[in-house]
Amino acid sequence: MKNKKANVSEFSFKECDIDDYDIIINIWDKAGLRYKPKGRDSKEKIEEEMQRGVGTFFIVYINNTPAGCILATHDGRKGWINRLAVLPEFRRMRIASALVRHAEKHLEKLGMEIITCLIEGWNETSMKLFSSLGYTKHEDVFYFSKRKNKDV
């Protein structure tokens, strides 16, 4: 399947519930996405996030096989694209673009008129992807965080 350009109609998307947790973690793990299994990415924390209704996970399937996932969140004012991951064997098939577009549609249905994402400086691949999808890089924005502990 490598380097095949999949048609968007070949993809199926599933809105996740907590029963999909192991699939999500497996995708993150195999895709090399860093996560906090003892903190914000624990099964309990993700279940809470799903129940609060501010975070929606989606898995994309190709021929009934999970190929990638994404998290769409919002704060009531802005939508956020988070935790985009595609399995290595499914990369270069436009799956990441399809996941982002699916998350955007979800957030737009919720009334979000601004959709954003944070990308770490080393992640050139994600920067190129989001730029190609019409996102603007803001050089004047700085990310600050205050964490309860190292696992959140």
Angle at 97 between CA 5 and CA 144, to 5 degrees: 145
Q: What is the pLDDT of residues 50-91, one digit of tens each?
A: 999 889 999 999 989 999 999 999 999 999 999 999 999 999
**What pLDDT does 9 receive?**
56
Q: Where are the beta strands (DSSP E) in 1-152?
A: 11-15, 55-62, 65-74, 79-86, 115-117
Angle subtended by helix axes 43-52 and 21-31, to nearest 10: 120
- Superfamily (CATH H level) for 8-132: Gcn5-related N-acetyltransferase (GNAT) (3.40.630.30)
Per-residue pLDDT tens over the stretch 83-142:
999 999 999 999 999 999 999 999 999 999 999 999 988 899 999 999 999 999 999 988
Q: Parse the chain into domains and list their residue ranges.
A: 8-132
Q: Model's pTM, two decimal places?
A: 0.89
Interval 19-38 mean pLDDT: 96
